[in-house]
Amino acid sequence: MKILFTTVGSSHTPVLQGVSQLQPDYTIFICSGGDSSSERMITGQGKIIKAKRNDPKPTLPNIPTQLGLAENTYHVILIPTDDLDAAVQRIDKEMALYQDKGNLFADYTGGTKTMTAALVLASLDHDVQLYLVKGARTDLEGVVDGTQCCSRAIVAKIRFNREFKNNLNAWKQFAYGSASQGLASINPPADSEVQDRFMMGKNLSDAFDAWDRFDHKKARQLLFAYRSKVAKSYSPYIQILDLLCSNNDPAKMEGARIYDLWLNAGRCAAQARYDDAVARAYRMIEWVAQWVLRTQCSVDTSDLPADFIPDDIKIFKNHSDKYQAPLRKAWELVERKTTGPANTFIKTYGDDLLTILGIRNSSILAHGLESVTQAKWKAVNTWMERKLLPAFITWSLSAKGSRLNEFHVVCFKFSLELYLL
């Protein structure tokens, strides 16, 4: 079923031309309301339309009569004369009613400026083919009678740009996967420049989605293809991914991954996923202790030498018959076995750490039955930013053999903004 939306203005000619050529099964005439209503051209009785604009009096019947339309094949909707917002909403509502009843077409030739703009905007938001009655012109007043032809309007790029931008808006909430899925549903126009832009948007969305899932190798592979474009405004991306994927300096790579985990926690919080954010914060706290022990003492908390464990720190063997230190025990070992910023940190803030761990343990993703609230996440975030992170950065810059390149630390301080293009 072919359903036509057409605007009705002061001239009946464009409407006649559009309906005659498009031959809809059902027509929805869009008319202005109020004192200057064009509804009369559809519903008025008798001779109500002038054959030509300058004729002294009307000589023609209403438009449906001229077209020979049966009463059950059309209806009228009224929209405000100068309220674009309300006009778009009214047409949008009508289009939604008919969306599943057939193929929708729209002829925006006639009508007021508001009416025309409203029909075009509503059509772009729906799967509606836009048409325009065109003809030869000798001036700006109108086309020459007899030269009119109803042609399909070229809006493929306009529609693509709207969909493209709408999907990339998901980046603002770090929903890179959602952006990629949305972009995958778009069929871009057959234009090389548009398709290149589409592929870049899709691949960068996939790259940051991979980065958010800690698949740094895939993220680097996808971003590297656009290195010349990305580097112009966001040069740190490739360098940071090089560091995250590097095996040349494991200590430096591990320090970078710890900080990357913290940024990931912040993105979870920005999406109001506070349990996920706290879970990542907990892992970071644990990981920092593991890193300190690995780089300063050359021990792994998953397989500690028996003679490394002080007699007054109780650590038991796991199912693999290895001494394995959980988070709190790992920090006890940092306090007893190391020197420097990490040691100072745990001696100063050890009691605070218990409060933070309590918030994590009450989470439904840990040992509790309730979700973490925004207020609790804020407490964790504030403590991490003011206490643990400064110690971590200071130590990572000064620790022998595991120094994080200062350039990369500066890059990391872009924090969440680093991930927004």
Statement: residue 421 has pLDDT above 70? no
pLDDT of residue 232: 65
Per-residue pLDDT tens over the stretch 182-219: 999 998 888 898 998 899 889 989 988 999 999 999 99
Burial of 295 (0-12, 13-18, 19+ CB in 10 A): buried
Domain annotation for the chain: domains and CATH numbers? 2-153 (3.40.50.10770), 246-419 (no CATH)
Rounded Cα distance between 53 and 166, Å, is 43
What pLDDT digit, counting tens, does each position of 208-266 carry? 899 999 999 999 999 888 888 776 666 677 778 888 888 877 777 888 888 889 989 99
Give me the amino acid identity at 67.
L
Confidence of residue 12 (pLDDT cuts 50, 70, 90): confident
Q: Summarize the confidence of residues 301-321 as an average pLDDT.
A: 93
Cα gap 72→28, rounded to integer Å: 11
pLDDT tens digits, one per residue of 362-387:
999 999 999 999 999 999 999 999 99
pLDDT at 416 over 60: no
- For residue 371, give the DSSP letter: P
**Three-class DSSP category at 151:** strand
Please give the pLDDT value at position 234: 62
Q: For 79-110, what is each residue's pLDDT tens digit?
A: 988 899 999 999 999 999 999 999 999 999 88
Measure the CA–CA gap between 309 and 321, rounded to whole angstroms.
15
Which pair of tokens denotes residue 5?
């939306």
pLDDT of residue 413: 39
Per DSSP, the three-state class of 235 is coil
pLDDT of 144 above 80: no
The predicted pLDDT at position 306 comes to 94
Once rounded to an integer, what is the mean pLDDT over residues 381-406?
72
Distance CA 219, CA 203 (A): 9
pLDDT tens for 23-42 read 999 999 999 876 567 898 99
